[in-house]
Amino acid sequence: MSDSDDHTPTYVEAGKEFSRDMNYVPDRITRDARRPEHGPVEGGLWPVEPGRYRLVAAKACPWANRAIIVRSLLGLEDVISLGTPGPTHDKRSWTFDLDAGGRDPVLGIERLQEAYFKRFPGYERGITVPAVVDIPTGELVTNDFPWITHDLFFEWREHHREGAPDLWPADLREEMDEVMQRIFTEVNNGVYRCGFAGSQESYDAAYDRLWTAMDWLEERLSDRRYLMGDAITEADVRLFTTLARFDAVYHGHFKCNRVKLTEMPHLWGYARDLFQTPGFGDNTDFEQIKAHYYVVHTDINPSGVIPAGPDPDVWLTPHGRG
């Protein structure tokens, strides 16, 4: 099964469970193109250079949305430019249909696929977002989404705004890695495992796994403001993009319908707390989110009808978690 936010709009395979393709271009952008202190180095190394790179990230996609949020939290808007494809795509690629003339104003391309092909002619894997593109050459640098946000924090640190949050606190890093891994496998990916299940058996197993994790999160957030304590970390960004899509998409479209997010007091208060924090809600577009899932996933929603609700104003109600 290919990545659910890639170039192909057919995701459900009869009789099979969903499995995400995690093979991405593994290049890293580091200070002076040095070997990074954390994580693998399986691809090339590119130097940190303000103004050189463009982050291409659709607000509709949760994996891309997290990169947009981290870029904003760290104050890198003037250091790394942002290109935003529209919420829908076809079999070939994400497209820049939100921009004048249907072209990215910096890269001059109509399809993100062009940057992939510039570096890898005939690239056969998914044309995914987020993607970092080298502006001078127009070539893809990397689409390895977990490491993109990691490196925005560790490698671009000298360009962060004054007072930027410590998204990877050293004393919590070991526990945070465990929390983020569970969030990724059971929640971020868990909703897709439900939505693209190809059999009743695989759906039932996915549903149970998801709600076991959601109950764990509800309990964890009962005695702390954020996942790791009193301050926002990368773990919160990674969970938020799934929670922001839960009632609008995953509850119905992906059949994750035991209860709504709004019916889980601690998770719902926590989600609103983040939404009302600069960098989160102002980078969340519910109309684009709904358009992406309900239009692109034709095997789940063949009519292409986009639901009118839920009312986004509920995200602005008091959360009581200060």
The reported pLDDT for the residue numbered 7 is 36
Q: Is 94 annotated as a binding residue?
A: yes
Summarised one tens digit per residue, pLDDT across range 278-300 is 999 999 999 999 999 999 999 99
The first and second tokens of residue 231, run together, are: 């301050």
Summarised one tens digit per residue, pLDDT across range 172-229 is 999 999 999 999 999 999 999 999 999 999 999 999 999 999 999 999 999 999 999 9
Does any domain span residue 200?
A: yes
Does any domain span residue 204?
A: yes
pLDDT of 163 higher than 80: yes
- Say if CB 242 and CB 250 are below 8 A apart: yes
Output 299 or 4, whichever has higher pLDDT.
Answer: 299
Strands 53-56 and 131-134: antiparallel
Work out the end-to-end distance of the chain between its first and last CA atoms, rounded to an integer number of angstroms.
Answer: 42
Does any domain span residue 74?
A: no
Does any domain span residue 124?
A: no
C-alpha 210 chain-centroid distance? 18
What value does the mean pLDDT take over residues 128-132? 97
When pLDDT is cut at 50, 70 and 90, the band that residue 54 belongs to is very high
Does any domain span residue 267?
A: yes
How many domains, the chain? Answer: 1
Does any domain span residue 176?
A: yes
Rg of the chain on CA atoms, in Å: 19
Does any domain span residue 94?
A: no
The first and second tokens of residue 259, run together, are: 């209860």
Over the chain, what is the mean pLDDT?
Answer: 94
Q: Beta-carbon neighbour count of residue 72 at 10 Å?
A: 17
Sheet containing strand 139-142, strands side by side:
81-83, 53-56, 131-134, 139-142
Q: Give this prediction's pTM.
A: 0.95
242: domain range? 170-282
Q: Which of 53, 62, 111, 103 is nearest to 82 (CA)?
A: 53
Q: How far apart are CA 313 and CA 121, in angstroms?
A: 45
When pLDDT is cut at 50, 70 and 90, the band that residue 19 belongs to is low
Question: Which positions are catalytic?
Answer: 61, 192
The reported pLDDT for the residue numbered 12 is 73
What CATH number has the domain bearing residue 192?
1.20.1050.10
Does any domain span residue 122?
A: no
When pLDDT is cut at 50, 70 and 90, the band that residue 17 belongs to is confident
